[in-house]
Amino acid sequence: AVGLLYGMVLNLLTVGAFWFDKRRARHHLHRIPEAQLLFLAAVGGWPCAKVAQRFFRHKTSKQPFGMILNFIGIVWACAAVWGALAFT
């Protein structure tokens, strides 16, 4: 239950950060550093980071941000497969 709550809160926070950064970008204001957006993805917000990236059309062509975000997703997928195999 704690893990589910953690994931939900973190993913909502991640979507909010992408939305806020996109809004700031449109108004040419100070932005959230890419490292912070990637950190949110790396610690569990990757699913909603990817959705927010596409939904808000934010940082879709920005490299290496896009490649790093995709790499984080690959790491999470590998961890999920490993966890499924290790604990069955």
**H/E element holding 2?**
helix 2-26
Q: Is the per-residue pLDDT at 88 higher than 80?
A: no
- Identify the sign of the CA torsion 26, 40, 52, 10: negative
How far is 34 from 17, CA to CA, in rounded Å? 11
Q: What is the pLDDT of residue 50?
A: 95
| Angstrom distances, CA of residue 64 to CA of 9, 61, 67, 70, 88 | 27, 9, 5, 10, 36
Q: What is the pLDDT of residue 61?
A: 85
- Identify the sign of the CA torsion 75, 80, 81, 86: positive
Q: pLDDT tens digits, residue range 17-75?
A: 999 999 999 999 999 999 999 999 999 999 999 999 999 988 888 899 999 999 999 99
What pTM does this model have?
A: 0.89
Q: What does the block give as tokens for 26?
A: 């449109």
